[in-house]
Structure 1
Amino acid sequence: MALIARGYPPVATLLLTVLTPVDRLVLEVPRGTRVAEVMRETGWLRAGPPQALLLGGFGGSWAPWRDLEHRTFDEDDLRALGLSVGAGVVAPIPSSACGVAETAAIAGYLAAMSARQCGPCHFGLPALADSMGRLADGDAPSGERTRLLADLQAVAGRGACHHPDGVTRLVASAIATFDSDVAEHAAGRLCGGAHRRTVPVPEVRR
């Protein structure tokens, strides 16, 4: 920051923390590096491409691999898709994973970690997490997806801080990215990865 303030050119590299199939890797790559190149370097293309990537960490956005395969880790390029690399956290999931269940676990954790100092955090985030949980478990009542979309609209942009915005961004992107899986789960038909997790989520102690 000090160098930039003194007129030096912006940093030309980007730090990425990538969740790999067996570990986490921190990479320094030139800005504009292709997403596919990073996935190849971190081992994600050995057994076929990932199903989707979560960009920006828990408060980030899901995007399907088909949308990212030819994109780069450049903010202007990603913003064309409504995405951002954020703090540089990248969490791919394999084709065998369940994006609905992965999102439900993350949403539950984020709801538990809120300060609960305003309505969107105290009531809105648990409602979103509960809806995602019911969908993930395949026991959602009729109209759960509609209620979830209404709750997203009610919570987005209304928190005293931006924590609720991260949760709404995560859940909304999951509904868009895993739309067919959401529909199947809403009908009680769970996918094969519904009971497995690939994205590590801290345990919530109630």
Structure 2
Amino acid sequence: MEASSYSDKQLLDGLKKDSIDAFDKLYFRYWKQSFQIANKILHNASVSEDVVQEVFADLWLKRNNAFIYNFKSYIFQSTRFQVFKIIRHNKVIAASVERDFIMNFATNDGIHNLALNDIKQILDETVASLPTKCREIFTLSRHKHMTSKEIARYLNISPKTVDNQINIALKKIRASFSSSFVLIEILISLYDKH
């Protein structure tokens, strides 16, 4: 029988009984829309395909324990959740790469040291221009290496407030670097040397 002759509920019942056929029918019914949801946010077909695969693989793994009332809603929400998980993960990676990038310029090479000095200057000026509380929270986080919870306890504020202030600081720092040609100059000098 064709997938269209079964309701989502019937297919979910089959899925709970380990029916690969039911799983396949659900997959082919919803993969394209799930892909479109992911790709609309990520703008990357390959990563969006991975998102859909992950969502459906997770569905198969949880097939016996999941209570799903509205499958369409469930699968689209799962897709969005997976997309945001990837975005969060990539922000962590980007922050790590950014930190490593700056740290790797602490060499004896004069050009790299000049570039590092420019980066530090822009960073210091941006941090100095932050509102007092935001600057204090950012400094505790980055220079004293305190966690959000530790800062919250220390300043007697909520961890959410700490996270918000750190995000504000990071946005301003990124904006100051995006308006600067320093990073572009660094990359050009690197490629010229290699």
TM > 0.5 fold call: no
Structure-2-length-normalised TM-score? 0.28
Greater strand share, structure number: 1
Greater helix share, structure number: 2
Higher RCO, 1 vs 2 (CA within 8 Å, ≥6 residues apart): 1
